[in-house]
Amino acid sequence: MTRLLYSELSRANPRSNNAWWWTDKMQTIKCVVVGDGAVGKTCLLISYTTNKFPSEYVPTVFDNYAVTVMIGGEPYTLGLFDTAGQEDYDRLRPLSYPQTDVFLVCFSVVSPSSFENVREKWVPEISHHCPRTPFLLVGTQMDLRDDSNTVEKLAKNKQRPLAPESGDKLARDLRAVKYVECSALTQVRVCVCERHNLYLLSLALIQGNRKWWV
């Protein structure tokens, strides 16, 4: 799999004002990742595209990645758009939304507030800007669910890690395509989260079969 990293947008084209990854020779799929800050969105993408885990947290402004994937024997450019979850970027972030084919809506399974914001902020935001665009609900940092220090900190606030069933229910309530969990740190289900599910979703997009998320 080929990896390309871009730090800024390159040139406009008729398909999207910010489709730096667009090429006329290869069909493309645009995937935008949203969610609260520090839930592991950037780590997930870095782990997926480089098989490495970043050593420290750096708040994202907009990082963009492109990978070449083979679907049905044909090459496609999968454009992965990382976004900043902080409120300071609420007006800037939607600039990356036009022409999105699929969203990954992320929350941390050890951050109840990020889970609540999926319903209160993120799904309403993407639905406003991109109605009818499908999304996957992604629970990140699943390796911390059994981490004693993390569990202890949550307990002090009378909280606990979110169970997989909570994610499943939220996905059904919000009509997400699917709920998946992953850990970028341990690589647990990163491939399942990104490659398998994006493959299936991308295939449906390519075939124009949108009935199952309407």
Specify the number of domains making up the chain: 1
Please state the rounded mean pLDDT for residues 187-193: 45
User: What's the pLDDT score for residue 160?
Assistant: 97
Domain that residue 142 falls in: 3-11+20-206
Closest by CA to 140, choosing from 85, 86, 186, 80, is 186
Report DSSP letters for 112-147, one per residue.
HHHHHHIIIIIHHHHHHHSTT--EEEEEE-GGGGG-
- Is 77 part of any domain? yes
**Coil, strand or helix: which one is 213?**
helix
Q: Is residue 134 part of a domain?
A: yes
Higher pLDDT, 185 or 47: 47
pLDDT digits (tens, 9 = 90+) for 24-76: 556 888 889 999 998 988 888 877 777 666 666 555 555 788 877 776 677 87
The verdict on residue 38 lying in a domain is: yes
Percent of the chain surpassing pLDDT 90:
41
Contacts of 127 (CB under 8 A, 6+ apart): none
Q: What is the mean pLDDT of the chain?
A: 76
Query: Confidence band (pLDDT; 50, 70, 90) for 178?
Result: confident
Q: What is the pLDDT of residue 60?
A: 59
Residue 152 is predicted with a pLDDT of 98
In terms of pLDDT, which residue wins out, 11 or 127? 127
- Residue 211 in domain: no
CB 155 within 8 A of CB 132: no
Determine the pLDDT at residue 85: 87
Contact at 8 Å (CB) between 210 and 134?
yes
pLDDT tens digits, residue range 145-170?
Answer: 999 999 999 999 999 999 999 999 99
Amino acid letter, 147: D
Residue 52 lies in a domain: yes
Q: Tell whether 167 is covered by a domain.
A: yes
Residue 213 Ramachandran class (φ > 0 left, ψ -120 to 50 alpha, else beta): alpha
Residue 135 within any structural domain of the chain: yes
Residue 212 within any structural domain of the chain: no
Report how far apart, in Å, the C-alpha atoms of 19 and of each of 30, 129, 138 are: 8, 17, 24
**6, 66 contact by CB (below 8 A):** yes
Using the predicted structure, report yes or no on whether residue 112 has a pLDDT greater than 70: yes
63 pairs with which residues across the strands? 82
Look at residue 196 in the predicted model and tell me its pLDDT: 47
The CATH number of the domain holding residue 54 is 3.40.50.300
